[in-house]
């Protein structure tokens, strides 16, 4: 396993134990980087207007389109470290 992958997995574990809950914009960024790192570009159908949370998540993930898995992992690790 690469060093980046192990640091990413540690950051995922740390994200569940942050001292205080990040604001919604930061939570969306965490979600988007996680999805981009683990799944790649968003190919899912955009949720309807009734699903505001789903739409926000979809938009955040789509904003990472074109980011490589390794870049997304590194950004995720950096973001979680900055919040810890």
* pLDDT one-digit tens code per residue, 45-59: 999 999 999 999 999
- Per-residue pLDDT, 39: 96
Q: Which residues contact 61 (CB under 8 A, 6 or more apart)?
A: 31, 32, 35, 36, 42
Whether 64 and 32 have beta carbons less than 8 Å apart is answered as yes
- Per-residue pLDDT, 84: 86
- Per-residue pLDDT, 1: 58
- Per-residue pLDDT, 62: 97
Q: What is the pTM of this model?
A: 0.92
Phi-psi region of 67 (alpha: psi -120 to 50; beta: other; left: phi over 0): beta
Q: What is the pLDDT along the chain (84 residues), one digit of tens a residue?
A: 589 999 999 999 999 999 999 999 999 999 999 999 999 999 999 999 999 999 999 999 999 999 999 999 999 999 999 998
CATH for the stretch 3-83: 1.20.80.10
Query: How many CB atoms are closer than 10 A to CB 78?
Result: 13
């Amino acid at each position: 396993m690469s060093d980046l992958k192990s640091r990413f997995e540690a950051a995922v574990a740390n994200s569940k134990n942050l001292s205080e809950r990040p604001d919604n914009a930061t939570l969306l960024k965490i979600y988007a980087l996680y999805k981009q790192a683990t799944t790649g570009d968003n190919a899912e159908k955009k949720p309807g207007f009734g699903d505001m949370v789903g739409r926000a998540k979809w938009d955040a993930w789509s904003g990472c389109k074109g980011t490589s898995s390794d870049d997304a992992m590194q950004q995720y690790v950096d973001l979680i470290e900055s919040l810890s």
